[in-house]
Amino acid sequence: MLAQRSTIRHNPGVPVHIDSQGATALLAREVAALSLADLPPGVRTAAKLCVLDVLGVAIAGSREPVTEVVRTALAADGTSAGTGDAAILGRPESVRALDAALVNGTAAHALDFDDVAAAMGGHPSAPVLPAALAVAQSRGLSGAALLTAFAAGFEVECRIGAALTGHYERGFHTTATVGTLGAAAAAARLMRLDAEATARALGIAATQAAGLKAMFGTMCKPLHAGRAASAGVLAALLAEQGMTSADEPLTAHQGLAETQADGFDDTFITPFGEPWYVPQALFKMHASCYLTHAPINALLRLREEHPELPEETDTVELRVSAGHLHVCAIPEPRTALEGKFSLRFTAALALAEGTADESRFTTATVTDPRLTALRDRVTVVPDEHLTQWNGTVTVTTSNGATYRGEADTGTPNWVDDPGEQTPGLLAKFHGLTEPHLGEARAKKLSSAVLALDTLEDLTELTTLASPLP
3-class DSSP assignment, residue 191? coil
Residues 228, 356 share a domain: no
Last residue of a domain, one of 364, 380, 408: 408
Query: CATH number, domain at 380?
Result: 3.30.1330.120
What burial letters (b/e) apply to 117-135, b meaning 16+ CB within 10 Å?
bbbbbbbbbbbbbbbbbbb
Give yes or no for a contact between 381 and 318, defined as CB atoms under 8 angstroms apart. Answer: yes
Contacts of 158 (CB under 8 A, 6+ apart): 117, 119, 120, 124, 277, 280
In a domain, 3, yes or no: no
Residues 267, 183 share a domain: yes
CA distances from 298 to 19, 135, 281, 305, 337 (A): 45, 41, 21, 11, 22
Alpha helices in 340-421 (DSSP H): 343-353, 363-366, 369-375
Query: CATH number, domain at 182?
Result: 1.10.4100.10
In a domain, 62, yes or no: yes
In a domain, 16, yes or no: yes
Residues 124, 30 share a domain: yes
Give yes or no for a contact between 108 and 57, defined as CB atoms under 8 angstroms apart. Answer: yes
Counting the structural domains of the chain, the total is 2
H/E run at residue 238? helix 220-240
Residues 328, 217 share a domain: no
Residues 456, 428 share a domain: yes
H/E run at residue 165? strand 164-165
Last residue of a domain, one of 385, 408, 431: 408
In a domain, 469, yes or no: no
Residues 279, 388 share a domain: no
In a domain, 2, yes or no: no
Residues 305, 424 share a domain: no
Residues 424, 399 share a domain: no
Residues 402, 335 share a domain: yes
Dist. CA 61–CA 105, nearest whole Å: 10
Query: DSSP string spanning 4-62?
Result: PP--EE--TT------SS-HHHHHHHHHHH--GGGS-HHHHHHHHHHHHHHHHHHHHHT
In a domain, 109, yes or no: yes
Domain that holds residue 430: 8-283+416-464
H/E run at residue 223? helix 220-240
In a domain, 1, yes or no: no
Q: Is the pTM of this model over 0.85?
A: yes
Residues 306, 275 share a domain: no
Amino acid symbol at 331: P
- pLDDT tens for the chain, 469 residues: list them: 233 333 334 343 333 444 436 999 999 999 999 999 999 999 999 999 999 999 999 999 999 999 999 999 999 988 766 778 999 999 999 999 999 999 999 999 999 999 999 999 999 999 999 999 999 999 999 999 999 999 999 999 999 999 999 999 999 999 999 999 999 999 999 999 999 999 999 999 999 999 999 999 999 999 999 999 999 999 999 999 999 999 999 999 999 999 999 999 999 999 999 999 999 999 999 999 999 999 999 999 999 999 999 999 999 999 999 999 989 999 999 999 999 999 999 999 999 999 999 989 999 999 999 999 999 999 999 999 998 899 999 999 999 999 999 999 988 888 789 999 999 999 999 999 999 999 999 999 999 999 999 999 999 999 999 987 7
Residues 424, 332 share a domain: no
Residues 250, 194 share a domain: yes
